[in-house]
Amino acid sequence: MTAIPLPAFVADQPAAHVDASLRQALEACDRAQECAVLWFAEIQRRALYRALGHASLQLYATVGLGFPDNRYWQFKRLADDLDRLPVLREAVATGAVGWTKAQQVARVATVETQAAWVALASSQSRRVLSQEVKRARKQQPAGQLAMMAPAQPTAPAADPPTTITLRADGVQLARFEALVEKAHKLKRVSAGTDRMDLMLAALEALIETRRRANESSGPAVQIVVQQCPDCAAATVVTNRGERKLAPAQVEALACDARVQREGKPNRATIKPSVRAAVLARDRHRCAAPGCRSTHFLEVHHVKPRQQGGSNRAENLITLCSRCHGFVHEHGGALAPAQVVGLNAQVMGSNTQAAGSNATG
């Protein structure tokens, strides 16, 4: 990728010089964004954000890079396009197609047509390309939404993620996109939420609405995990058969579960009263810095029980299932910086909780 020098600003230059400098600066801006998105797409494609200490790409962007939400979603959309269209990604990386043209191509190209669109972009002006893109968009058929469970590095013993595909006609696709955008504007979507999380949260909300109407208690749903008492291998029961779990997944589940052993009564790993108190203290949100998810909440031991950690509330913290699993993949203990942040949040929550109890 050829570097473009950024012209230094000098006031009161002739019109031709100002115009040339502005054009050079704009080209440098385009090239810089192109380069940044390519690197961002590499972070996403290889899930490098996990090696950098973040449970999701969005947490890496918003916490690690300091992106506002709208900038994250802009980069995410562009990175998705480059990941979906490898021919276009290669053309951008080699400079065969400029960044402005690449964004136009990404709006209409498919895996099957990307080579033809790249050839057109390489040989035609931006104006001609824009006209062809507009014409193609008017003729675009119904879309297809493909959703995949988050790609997370797991132990070799675990089964790979399962792909779930939903087909949508034009109206359904438009409604889906509009609802997702609305959810983000209303701040109902937490950092790290992907399409699979959105669908699960929507289904959970349907169930929770009925449960509140019926004044029922307890978790909305339960999943069944079977674990061998000798080798500790575990599987989760699904309609598609048993799926093997990685050791880190098993450890996370064991933090906050009900255990059933033959001939013995069910036993909660954390007393229900303590669990309820921890959730209330943390305001029913994931306490991981930058996350704040309100869905799929679990209780985690700040100091692992294997290292002498207790089941007392001061050693427990609320995490969403994604952040909880990520912590256990990295040994089960929170990093020192995370513990400091969590303790500060817990102290603030305790102060408010104490005031609430006093008035109750």
Q: Are strands 267-268 and 241-244 parallel, antiparallel or unpaired?
A: unpaired
Q: Which amino acid is at 143?
A: G
Q: Which domain holds residue 36?
A: 15-141
Does residue 62 share a domain with residue 130? yes
Does residue 125 share a domain with residue 153? no
Q: Please check whether residue 305 lies inside any domain of the structure.
A: no
Q: Please check whether residue 65 lies inside any domain of the structure.
A: yes
Instruction: Evaluate if pTM is beyond 0.85.
Output: no
Rounded to 10 degrees, what is the CA torsion of 5, 8, 11, 12? -40
Name the residue with tokens 């909780």.
353
Which residue from 189, 188, 143 is spatially nearest to 168, judged by alpha carbons? 143
Q: Say how many domains are in the chain.
A: 2
Reported as a single tens digit per residue, the pLDDT across 205-235 is 777 655 544 444 445 567 788 888 788 888 8
Burial group, residue 282, by CB count within 10 angstroms (0-12, 13-18, 19+): buried
Which residue from 258, 246, 223, 236 is spatially nearest to 330, judged by alpha carbons? 246
Does residue 158 share a domain with residue 121? no
Q: Please check whether residue 284 lies inside any domain of the structure.
A: no
Among residues 184, 214, 244, the one where a domain terminates is 214
Does residue 104 share a domain with residue 30? yes
Does residue 29 share a domain with residue 136? yes
Contact (CB, 8 A) for 286 and 297: yes
Does residue 201 share a domain with residue 97? no
Tell me what pLDDT residue 145 has: 41
Q: Please check whether residue 110 lies inside any domain of the structure.
A: yes
Does residue 90 share a domain with residue 25? yes
Tell me what pLDDT residue 34 has: 83
Tell me what pLDDT residue 174 has: 60
Residue 67 CA to residue 75 CA, distance in Å, equals 10
Q: Please check whether residue 68 lies inside any domain of the structure.
A: yes
Does residue 130 share a domain with residue 175? no
Q: How far apart are the first and last CA of the chain?
A: 65
Structure tokens at 356: 């609430």
Among residues 79, 106, 141, the one where a domain terminates is 141
Residues in the chain: 360
Does residue 23 share a domain with residue 45? yes
Does residue 116 share a domain with residue 49? yes
Tell me what pLDDT residue 40 has: 93
Q: Specify the DSSP class assigned to residue 7.
A: P
Which residues of the chain are under the pLDDT cut of 70? 1-3, 140-159, 168-175, 177-178, 189-193, 208-221, 239-240, 332-360
Q: Please check whether residue 160 lies inside any domain of the structure.
A: yes
Among residues 124, 141, 158, the one where a domain terminates is 141
227: part of which helix (H) or strand (E)? strand 225-227
Checking phi first, is residue 296 left (phi over 0); if not, alpha (psi -120 to 50) or beta?
A: left
Q: Please check whether residue 207 lies inside any domain of the structure.
A: yes
210: part of which helix (H) or strand (E)? helix 195-214
Does residue 192 share a domain with residue 87? no
CB-CB neighbours of 304 under 10 Å:
18
Q: What angle do CA 218, 220, 224 make, to 5 degrees?
A: 95
Burial group, residue 277, by CB count within 10 angstroms (0-12, 13-18, 19+): middle
Contact (CB, 8 A) for 75 and 37: yes
Report the DSSP beta bridge partners of residue 11: none
Does residue 134 share a domain with residue 206? no
Tell me what pLDDT residue 338 has: 54
Q: Specify the DSSP class assigned to residue 315.
A: G
Tell me what pLDDT residue 28 has: 86
Q: Specify the DSSP class assigned to residue 65.
A: S
Which residue from 124, 122, 195, 116 is spatially nearest to 163, judged by alpha carbons? 195
Q: Please check whether residue 51 lies inside any domain of the structure.
A: yes
